[in-house]
Amino acid sequence: MTTSHVDTNDKQEAVFPLDKPRIDMARIEQAVRTILEAVGEDPDREGLIDTPARVARMYAEIFAGLHQDPREELSARFHVEHGEMVLVRDIPFYSMCEHHLLPFFGTAHVAYLPHANVVTGLSKLARLVDVVAKRPQVQERMTNEIADVLVSELQAEGVLVVVDAEHLCMNMRGIRKPGSRTMTLAARGRYEEDVRMREEVLQMIRYHG
């Protein structure tokens, strides 16, 4: 298995403009018909006649994150007695590469060190990943956006996000290397500054006992 490691540390405040026009189902359907005709198919033949509408519904689902603010997923917060590190590992996700509009998918591992003993619900971390994933993008940006939301909304003292994904644009076209995986990492705060602390979290992510 070929593994590519990309360390992404471009820190910037997460910005999620939500004033985009809503998904235009009719335009998607027409565009799919045009593509089918352009590749030499008959969009009115049996088997394809309902395809444009199906694709429009699919895009509305898989790009739903364009019209959701992931910061809202962290609105539930709690005070706990001890402010120890929180790690949710192996969060499955599906996203779309913005270069070829082909899926990339895999798992995200999200860890944060609470500030002032304030935490969010464990399920909220999975929801955060889900919302950020549902948009056309590159894996590097997805990784950083998850980390930046945790910093901005929870004021976490440390954040570490690792994303491990397989890209169909590498598997089924171009270089055609099925089984290759891409790993991206975003570290913030104490997990960026302290190598020992960062390695402890990475060891926990790698542990499969």
Q: Is 99 tagged catalytic?
A: yes
137 labelled catalytic: no
The mean-pLDDT minimum among 11-15, 74-78, 86-90 falls in: 11-15
* Residues that constitute the known binding site: 97, 100, 169
Is the dihedral angle over the CA atoms 189, 137, 89, 71 positive or is it negative?
positive
184 neighbors 143 (Cβ within 8 angstroms)? yes
Region of poorest pLDDT, from 2-6, 69-73, 111-115: 2-6
Assess whether 115 carries a catalytic annotation.
no
Task: Mean pLDDT check: name the lowest of 18-27, 89-98, 198-207.
Answer: 18-27
Catalytic member of 72, 169, 192, 200: 169
Per-residue pLDDT of 37-58, as tens digits, reads 999 999 999 999 999 999 999 9
The single residue of 37, 61, 99, 199 carrying the catalytic annotation is 99
Binding residues for Zn(2+): 97, 100, 169
pLDDT at 8: 44
Distance in angstroms (rounded) separating the CA atoms of residues 179 and 4: 11
Q: Residue 19: what pLDDT?
A: 61
46 is an active site residue: no
46 vs 25: CA distance, rounded Å? 21
The CA–CA distances, whole Å, from 163 to 18, 54, 115 equal: 25, 30, 24
Residue 100 known to be catalytic: yes
Catalytic status, residue 98:
yes
All domains of the chain in start order, with CATH: 25-65 (1.10.286.10), 72-206 (3.30.1130.10)
pTM for the structure as a whole: 0.88
pLDDT digits (tens, 9 = 90+) for 151-209: 999 999 999 999 999 999 999 988 888 889 999 999 999 999 999 999 999 999 998 75
- In DSSP terms, 159 is beta-bridged to 112, 188
Q: Say what the pLDDT of residue 17 is.
A: 58
